[in-house]
Amino acid sequence: MKGYVQVYTGNGKGKTTAAIGMAVRAVGAGLKVFIGQFVKGMYYSELKSLERFYPDLIIKQYGTGCFIFRTPKQEDIDVAKKGFEEVKEVIKSGKYDLVILDEINIALYYKLVSLDDVLSLIDEKPENVELVLTGRNAPQEVIDKADLVTEMKEIKHYYTKGVEAREGIEK
């Protein structure tokens, strides 16, 4: 099966959720899945849910917490770069049919990983690997290389009324 490059971006909710839905579908079809979550280093409910699919689905975090509300520190950069090196090996290994780089676009936006490295990864991915990149602020260069791009557009969100992330819904 030919693998394509998909991008889920935009300011609306649902980018990670869409990618996880695809991961669940892939496991149901007998495919092997790897999810690398950049920027994220905190517990999210999907971690517990996705553990049930082990060893057909592996998820790893390459973040130190959630620095989205602060300037990244050197530790954030180091963890992301190390994670990106691991993801490159995962993709080359041929063990996984679907590889999701969750929030990689945020890692690019904050310069935790280089755009040239991500573009090279896209160019060098094996033909059979489906590669999914999520996160707002996808660079135009990534969008141009992708085969499928979906922009999640925020029309209305209850966060604006002070509703915090809820267990099982947003976290």
pLDDT at 87 over 70: yes
Average pLDDT on 96-115 reads 97
The better pLDDT of the pair 24, 72 is held by 24
**Radius of gyration of the chain, Cα coordinates, nearest whole angstrom:** 15
Q: Percent of the chain, pLDDT > 70?
A: 98
Residue 155 vs residues 21, 29, 67, 90, 135: alpha-carbon distances, Å: 22, 34, 25, 36, 17
- Answer yes or no: is pLDDT of 31 > 90: yes
- Return the domain boundaries, the chain: 5-161
Nearest alpha carbon to residue 122 among 84, 95, 83, 150 = 84
Average pLDDT over residues 56-85: 90
pLDDT band at residue 171 using 50, 70 and 90 as cut-offs: confident
Category of 44 on φ-ψ map: left (φ > 0), alpha (ψ -120 to 50) or beta: beta
Domain 5-161 classification at class level: alpha beta
